[in-house]
Structure 1
């Protein structure tokens, strides 16, 4: 039986990127919510909800990057120089966020500075991820399999708006996570904050969707010229239903449902992205097959991935299972 290896690898990389977005998304989102909560005990509880799992979440970012390098080296060699600055800034943000995570609890006089580093690092990393997403959607100039653009081609009003959209997405994920993991006054305030965040997220998704279709002809052709519009129409309807469900679940004081519905919104947005760029890995010129490495290389890497990936998934499932339940101030084992 013939196996289309580029599609297999695209599925693996797509899975890795999606898991990173949803897992590290609520982690970064907690940093974005820090300015709304000045009480030290509340901030510590917010951090404690992700303290056991935050570093493992970034494993999927490594999986996506390594998979792109091994399976689609041409795409890797194009996308990196096309987005050097936002990618470097993203790594800087993640470094500040990680350092602040470890050091703020040990600091006394400088804890406020580390809180700023945590918020700033989270915001910078999230914003740059959105900018790279916008840059990917708007297209990359490629000549003879090489990046042919300038160092600031990624910078546009569309990519900036996508950066803001990712900030809102991660903040909403973080709010939903904290509704699930906390209780009392902190949970109540998160419920209040969830409503405007959900509305803002709906606005961001709507604007990006319309902007993408109107401003990018290749994407418009994919949505409206492929004869598959009937299959795509449920996506905006489901987005609106998820936002309505968030409002209802917050009003009815459900604890898990707001987070699950926000995850569903992320999934719908991700499927919209896949629909918009398929079958290109570097729109609008490099398809999956044109950017692929040799079949031998893909087979060799696939064997290792099929061994390691289940271990990574099992580890992540286990850590979330072990540290399930509510987090309260003073709980042992979270510092």
Structure 2
């Protein structure tokens, strides 16, 4: 679909920008949510402490992408913002509460003089609730908020997929950032999580086509199916690369492969659903603000976006390398 007017160009540009912010959020906050969930599998304070230490300098900055995403959606597509937030009030409130739990738990565990187990569990539970909430939001949006058993089953699959996918990102992050027993455990977690993530992604893809007329209609557009096949091939290669890197004791490869897997999966989903922003309910054109508003927002995002990118890249560069246990 070629844009035919300034309004169309702006609509498409903002759809792409919001998609980019969503990908950046999912990958960056996804791995630290994954690390948080994986702490629930470790029994020793020292293990959990090292895992949390691996994300300690970056986790809060990762969540700024979600703030930027919410602001961009509110300004660029206010009707979509209103529809999504009104229908998903409960999971969004749970998501916010889980972020509060995570932030409070990290601060209180630093001040704990004896066992840190309680706050570690709060941090892990908060991470799990955040992932579940995001899975519910994804499933409800993809089904266009339709009621019924099929929609509920679809939401369950998306929840499993999000939780598993974040655990995959978290496990491969730990492979890159830790050593010894935790790294070995992270490699095992990575192998299990990559299989469950891919299975969930395949089920979501087929369910989208079966239960959403938008998906199957879009697949029949000229050239779209070919692009989706190409993305599926890249996803299969990324899946294979993750397994290969884990087996060959690679440090950075598993995380790189997992990131590629997420990016191409999201790209395929976006292509399948476009031009709808809420499938079957609201198109990009119908939900968009007027041209002056979108142009004004472009000036704002053009200033803020590079700063956020540079800051994020700098923090990952500054805190690169393996983490070592801090002795008290």
Structure 1, unaligned runs of 5 or more:
142-149
* 4+ long deviations beyond 3 Å: 152-155, 224-227
The match for 1:104 is: 109
Query: Pairwise mapping of residues 274-293 of structure 1 onto structure 2 (< 5 A)?
Result: 274-293=270-289
Residues 112-133 of structure 1: per-residue CA shift (max 9 Å, x gap): 2212211111011111111111
Query: Pairwise mapping of residues 51-200 of structure 1 onto structure 2 (< 5 A)?
Result: 51-108=56-113, 111-140=116-145, 156-200=152-196
Residues 274-304 of structure 1: per-residue CA shift (max 9 Å, x gap): 0121011122132212111121111122211
CA distance in structure 1 between the partners assigned to 2:123 and 2:291 by the alignment? 43
1:23/1:57 contact within 8 Å kept: yes
The structural deviation recorded for 1:155 is: 6.9
Aligned residues: 323
Of residues 256, 259, 266, the one that matches 2:262 is 266
The match for 2:19 is: 14
Q: Which moved more, 1:120-129 or 1:208-217?
A: 208-217
The structural deviation recorded for 1:224 is: 3.8
Mark the CA change 1:264 to 1:34 in structure 2 (over 3 Å): closer, same or farther. same
SS at structure 2 position matched to 1:281: strand
Residues 13-35 of structure 1: per-residue CA shift (max 9 Å, x gap): 11111101000000000111012
Cα RMSD (Å): 2.1
Of residues 23, 34, 37, the one that matches 2:39 is 34
Q: Which moved more, 1:170-179 or 1:7-16?
A: 7-16
CA distance in structure 2 between the partners assigned to 1:192 and 1:77 by the alignment? 42
CA distance in structure 1 between the partners assigned to 2:224 and 2:32 by the alignment? 36
Residues 120-178 of structure 1: per-residue CA shift (max 9 Å, x gap): 1101111111111111111147xxxxxxxx9x999722112201110000000000000
1:82/1:153 contact within 8 Å kept: no
Of residues 43, 48, 55, the one that matches 1:50 is 55
Mark the CA change 1:153 to 1:195 in structure 2 (over 3 Å): closer, same or farther. closer
CA distance in structure 2 between the partners assigned to 1:307 and 1:90 by the alignment? 28
Mark the CA change 1:37 to 1:121 in structure 2 (over 3 Å): closer, same or farther. same
1:135/1:154 contact within 8 Å kept: no
SS at structure 1 position matched to 2:286: coil
Q: Which moved more, 1:132-141 or 1:264-273?
A: 132-141
Of residues 303, 312, 319, the one that matches 1:316 is 312
Question: What TM-score do the two structures reach when normalised by structure 2?
Answer: 0.93
1:165/1:201 contact within 8 Å kept: yes
Mark the CA change 1:6 to 1:291 in structure 2 (over 3 Å): closer, same or farther. same
The match for 2:231 is: 235
Structure 2, unaligned runs of 5 or more:
none
SS at structure 1 position matched to 2:287: coil
